[in-house]
């Protein structure tokens, strides 16, 4: 499903990035929030969340975008957008709501 600009008007979002090439993700802020991987047509491929200081920061055990890329969650994606929130709880609920809305292929877990 293609990204809708209306998704960026959620009250939990305090600021957002522009769409940027996925390999330049380190230019994003370290704030808590949700990140979205999409292809050039803005077809959403994956939605993830990051707690405060975990979006891109490399001096902690897990920095979320890099971890998602290492797990192949960027399959088919070329771009990333960040939606920043005030705290981890808002990021968690925003992520869940966006996954329900978009059902990105790389968020779906297959059961055997």
Output the CA angle 30-103-77, nearest 5 degrees: 55
More confident position, 81 or 65: 81
Q: What percent of the chain has pLDDT over 70?
A: 87
SS3 of 36-66: the string is EEECCCCEEEEEEEECCCCCCCCCCCCCHHH
CA distance 108 to 76: 14
Given this model, what pLDDT does residue 27 score?
A: 86
For residues 26 and 99, the model is more confident at 99
Indicate whether this model's pTM tops 0.85: yes
pLDDT at 61: 46
On average, the pLDDT of the chain sits at 88
Structural domains in the chain, sorted by start = 5-107 (3.40.1440.10)
In this model, does residue 53 exceed pLDDT 70?
no
Which of helix, strand or coil describes residue 96? Answer: helix
């Amino acid at each position: 499903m293609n990204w809708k600009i209306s998704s960026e008007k959620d009250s939990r979002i305090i600021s957002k990035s522009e769409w940027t090439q996925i390999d330049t993700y380190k230019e994003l802020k370290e704030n808590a929030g949700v990140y979205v991987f999409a292809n050039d047509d803005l077809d959403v491929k994956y939605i993830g969340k990051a707690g405060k200081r975990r979006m891109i920061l490399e001096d902690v055990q897990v920095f979320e975008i890099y971890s998602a890329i290492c797990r192949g969650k960027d399959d088919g994606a070329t771009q990333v957008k960040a939606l920043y929130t005030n705290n981890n709880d808002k990021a968690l609920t925003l992520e869940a709501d966006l996954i329900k809305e978009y059902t990105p292929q790389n968020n779906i877990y297959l059961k055997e």
